[in-house]
Structure 1
C-alpha cells in the first residue's frame, strides 16, 4: 500500500495531488468571473444581444468550475488536521486568521450574489444584475488575495515571534504584505486570466474549425486574443520582477530553478536552456547554455553574482531536478502564448483571423497550456520551498501529524479514486458544454423561481440544465404499441 514511501512522502504526494486538482478550478472561476463582468458591461453599453448570449453560455462553465473549486477546496483543508496537525499547531495562529478572512470576505460575498448572477436575468434590473456579477468577480479576486497572502507568508515569513515553539503574530501588516506577496499575487492573477482566455480562444477555435462563422464565435475568439495580447507581455514583466524577488529572499530556490551549483565570482552566470541537474553529483549534466545570459536576466548585468546551490547544506537544498524542469515548462508555454497572441495580431491586421486554419489549430492545441503552465508554476514554487513549510522557520518534516505511512497511503488511494470519478465527470461535463458551444438565444428572460435563486448560492451546478447527451428517439417501427 505504501510502495516504500514514508508517511512524510505520502502526505506530501497527497497534498500535491489534491491541490493540483483544486487550483485549476479557482483559476477558471477567477478568470471567467471577470470575463463575464466584461461581457455584461459591454452589453449594458451597447445592448448588443451577442454579449448577453455569450454571458449566458460562459456562466454555465463558470458555475461548474465554481462548484468543483468549492468541493475540492473543502477536501484540501481537512488535510491540515489529518496530515499536518503540527503545522496547524505551530503556525495556525498566523495562517488560520488569513484563511478565515478569506471565508468572511470573499466566500460570503460570492455566495450572497451568486444566485442573482446565475438566475437573475429578467427578475432584477440590468444594473442590479451587473452589480451582482461584479461582486462575484470581486469576490473571486478577494479570495485569491487572502490565499496568496497566506501562501506567500509561508515563502517569505515576516511579522511574527516565536514563543514556546509557537509562531505568534506581531505585525499583521507585515504578515499580509510580506516581501513576496504582491509579486506572487500579480503573477497568479495574470495566470488565472490567461487560463480563461486560452480556454475561451480554444473553444472558439474549435467551432471555427468546424465551420461556424457567426458573431458569437468570432466575438469570443477576438476578445480572448486581445486579452492574451495585453496579458502575456505583462506576465513576462511580472515574472522578471518575481524572479528578482526570489533571488533576494529565496536564493536556494532560485539556484535550483537555474540548475546553478557554483557561485560565479569571476564571470557571468550562464543560462541553461537544457540540462539534467544531478543532486548526488552536485552538477547539471548535458547542458545547453548561453554564456552570461543568466546574470543578465537575474542581476541585469553581464557579470552579476548569483549564489550557487553548493553554498547551502545538502539538507537545505530543494530538488533541482524537479524545479529546473517545472520552471522551464512554465516559461516555454509562456513563450508559446506570446507567439499565439502576436500571430493573432498579425492575422487580424491582414483580416485573416477567422479563416487561417493553421492558426486556429494552434489556438485549439494551446487551450490546455494555461493549466499546464499554472501547475508547473505551482510545482516550482512549492517544491522550490522545500525542505521548509515555512521558509527558514519550520521544516516540512516537523509539520507532519503523528500518522503512519499505511494510514496516509490508504487515504491517498481513496482520494485518487474519488477525485478521478467526481472531478473527471465535472471536467467531462464542461468539455461537452464547450463542444456544444454558445447559442443565439436573443436574451430570453430567466424563468427561475425564487427557490431556484436561493438554491443557486448553495449549489451552483443547479444553474446548468442542458442535456449534453440528449436521448435518442427510437424509430416508430421499433416503438412498442
Structure 2
C-alpha cells in the first residue's frame, strides 16, 4: 500500500502526522501545568475558593491531555527504530542520551508527583499538594528543555566529530546549548503558554456568551487575557531574534521562508506579503511585497544583503512553497493575538471586558489559533531543515531504514485510522468538559478516602461522575427554587 509514493516520502508523512498529533498535547500539558500551579498558589495565599474551583476544573483537562501526550510520544519514538534506523545508528550517540536525560530528569519527576496532584486532595496537606503540582509543572518544562535541545542540535549541530561514518559526541555543553537552542526553547515555551492562554480565554468567552457572569468565568477570562497581553508581543520579539539566528546558521531556510531567490546587491530585499514560490521556475509568482522591509527585518538595515535560494544547489533547497505559507500563517495569527490582547486592555480600562460580545466572539474564535500557529511553526522549522535530518551533516534520505513503500504505507494507514479514533475520542472528551465549564460546587468538596480510591481505579470516569453530580445538585436547587 504505497499510495504511489516512495518509502522516504511515506516515512516523512508518517512522522509529520504523528508528531503533529503529539505536539498538541504536550503544549496543553506544559501551559496548563503552570496555570494550575498559579491557581493553587493563589488559593493558598488568598483562600479564595474560586481558585480552587478553577484548579479542580482545569486539572481534568490536564489529565486527559497529559495521558494522550504520553501515549502519542511513545508511538512517535518507535519510528526511530522502524522507519529511521539509520538515523539512530549514525546520530544515536547524541540523540539517545538527550532523550534519556529527558526521561530520567523530567518524566520520572512528573510520574512521581502526578498521582498526588490528581488524587491527593484530602490525603496530603495543602502545601504538600501544591509542592506536587509545582513539581509536575517543573517536570513539563524540563521535558521541553531536553526535547528542544535534541531538536535544536539537529538544526544547528555542534560539539561532535565523525568517525567511520558515525557521529561521536565530543563536547556535551556545546551539544546541549547549541547555537539555536535558547531561541527555540523560549519560542516553544511562549507558544505553549499562548496555546493555554487562548484555550482558557476561549472557554471563558463561550460561557460569557451563554450568559454566565460568575467569578469562575470572569476570573478565567481575566487571567488568560493578562497572560496573552504579555506573551503575544514577547513572542514576536523572540521570533525576531530566532529569525536572525536562522539567517546566520540556516540561510537556505530563511531564503525559502521569504521566497527570496536572488541575492540582493544594489537594493534592499523586499518583504513578500503574498506570493507563490515555484521551485521549478526558481521564482516567486504573483509576489506582493514591501520594498526594503525584508532587509530591515533581517539585517536591521534598509539595504542589507540577504542570500537568495539560487546561492544554494537545487538539492540543498527546502520546499519554499510550503514554508513560505506556513510561516505567514504563524505570523498572521500572532498579529491577531496581539490585536486581541490590545483590545482586551482597552475594554478592561473601560470596564466592559465581560459585557462586550464582539470581543468575546473574537476570543472564542481565537481559541484554536494557538494550536494552528504552533503546528505552522513546526512545519516551518522541520520542512525548512530539509533535505537534512541533521543540518549539513546527514541527509534525510540517508537516515531511512531499509523498508519498502508498501510497509510504510500500510503502517501509515493504520496510524491514521487508530489516531483519529483514539485521539478523536480524547479530544471530544476534553471539549465535553469545556462545554460543561467550571462549577462552584467543587468549593466545599474535598476528596474523601472512598472517592480517592474510586478515582484511582477509574480516573477518567470519575470526571463523568463529578459532572453528573453537578447536574443532579443543580436540578435539586432548581426544584427547591420552584417550590
> Do these two structures clear the TM 0.5 threshold for a shared fold by scoring above it?
yes
- Three-state SS of the structure 2 residue aligned to 1:273 is strand
Distance 2:453 2:464 in 1: 12
Unaligned runs of at least 5 residues, structure 2: 473-483
Superposed displacement of residue 266, structure 1:
1.2
Q: Map Cα deviations across residues 191-246 of structure 1 (whole Å, 9 max, x no partner).
A: 00000000000000000000000000000000000000010111011000000000
Number of the residue aligned with 1:80: 80
Cα shift readout 1:415-435 (whole Å, capped 9, x = no counterpart): 000000000000000000000
- Partner Cα separation in structure 2 for residue 101 and residue 74 of structure 1: 16
Matched residue, 1:17? 17
- Larger relative contact order (C-alpha < 8 A, sep ≥ 6)? 1
CA contact (8 A) 1:39 1:51 kept: yes
- Give how far 1:444 is off: 1.4
- Equivalent-residue separation in structure 1 for 2:450 and 2:467 (angstroms): 23
Pairing of 1:157-176 with structure 2 (within 5 A): 157-176=157-176
1:375 corresponding residue in structure 2: 375
Change (3 A) 1:452 1:305: farther
Q: Give the Cα–Cα distance (whole angstroms) in 1 for the partners of residues 155 and 464 of structure 2.
A: 43
CA distance change for structure 1 residues 160 and 454 in 2, over 3 Å: closer, same or farther?
farther
**TM-score normalised by length of structure 1:** 0.95
Where do 1:88-167 residues align within 5 Å? 88-167=88-167
Q: Deviations over 1:443-470 (max 9, x none)?
A: 41112559849958xx964663447689
Deviations 1:325-378 (A, max 9, x none): 000000000000000000000010010000000110000000000000000000
SS of residue matched to 2:443: coil
* C-alpha distance in structure 1 between counterparts of 2:114 and 2:395, whole Å: 40
Residue 418 of structure 2 corresponds to 418
Structure 1: which 5+ residue stretches go unaligned? 474-481
Structure 2 counterpart of 1:447:
448
Query: In structure 2, do the counterparts of structure 1 residues 363 and 392 end up closer, same or farther at CA, with 3 Å as the change threshold?
Result: same
TM-score, normalization by structure 2? 0.95
Give the equivalent residue in structure 1 for 2:398. 398
Q: Give the 3 Å change call, closer, same or farther, for CA 450–132 of structure 1 in structure 2.
A: farther
In 1, the alpha carbon distance for the partners of 2:436 and 2:464 equals 13
Q: Is the 8 A contact 2:119 2:455 kept in 1?
A: no
Aligned to 1:479: none
State the match for 2:50 in structure 1.
50
Task: Tell me the distance in 2 between the aligned counterparts of 1:431 and 1:269.
Answer: 45
Tell me the secondary structure at the aligned position of residue 464 of structure 1. helix
Give the structure 1 partner of residue 463 of structure 2. Answer: 464
Structure 2 equivalent of residue 321 of structure 1:
321
2:401 and 2:184 map into 1 onto residues whose CA distance is: 29
8 Å CA contact 1:295–1:306 kept in 2: the answer is: yes
Q: 1:187 to 1:224 in 2, by over 3 A?
A: same
* Inter-partner Cα distance in structure 1 for 2:38 and 2:452: 28
- The 3 A distance-change label for structure 1 pair 376 and 308 is same
Distance in 2 between residues matched to 1:391 and 1:299, nearest whole Å = 23
Distance in 2, matches of 1:300 and 1:381, equals: 23
Per the alignment, residue 36 of structure 1 pairs with: 36
The two structures, once aligned, show a CA RMSD in angstroms of 1.7
Alignment partner of 1:194 is 2:194: yes
Secondary structure of 2:448's aligned partner: coil
Determine the C-alpha separation between the residues in 1 that align with 2:40 and 2:335: 31
Cα offset, 1:2, TM superposition? 1.6
**Contact (CA 8 Å) 2:246, 2:254: kept in 1 or not?**
yes
1:299 aligned residue = 299
Query: Which residues of 2 match residues 170-185 of structure 1 at below 5 A?
Result: 170-185=170-185
Aligned equivalents of 2:2 and 2:83: distance in 1?
15
Cα offset for 1:307?
0.5
1:121 partner SS: coil
3-state SS of paired residue (1:306):
coil
When residues 225 and 450 of structure 1 are mapped into structure 2, their CA distance, relative to the original with a 3 A threshold, is closer
Instruction: Count how many residue pairs are aligned between Structure 1 and Structure 2.
Output: 470
How much does 1:442 deviate?
A: 1.6
SS of residue paired to 1:442: helix
Q: Is the Cα contact below 8 Å between 2:270 and 2:290 reproduced in 1?
A: yes
Are 1:285 and 2:285 counterparts? yes
Note closer, same or farther for the CA distance 1:241–1:452 as it changes in structure 2 (3 Å cut): farther
Measured after TM superposition, the shift of residue 122 of structure 1 is 1.8
SS of residue paired to 1:161: strand
C-alpha distance in 1, partners of 2:450/2:239? 47
Q: CA distance change for structure 1 residues 13 and 228 in 2, over 3 Å: closer, same or farther?
A: same
Instruction: Determine if contact 1:119/1:463 at 8 Å carries over to the other structure.
Output: no
Give, in whole Å, the separation in 1 of the partners of 2:116 and 2:287. 56
CA deviations 1:61-98 (Å, max 9, x no partner) are: 00000000000000000000000000000000000000
Q: CA deviation at 1:265?
A: 1.1
Secondary structure of the equivalent of 1:379?
helix
Distance (Å, rounded) in 1 between the aligned partners of 2:185 and 2:451: 37
String of CA shifts for 1:12-49, please: whole Å, max 9, x gaps. 00000000000000000000000000000110110000
Are the aligned partners of 1:115 and 1:454 in contact in 2 as well (CA < 8 Å)? no
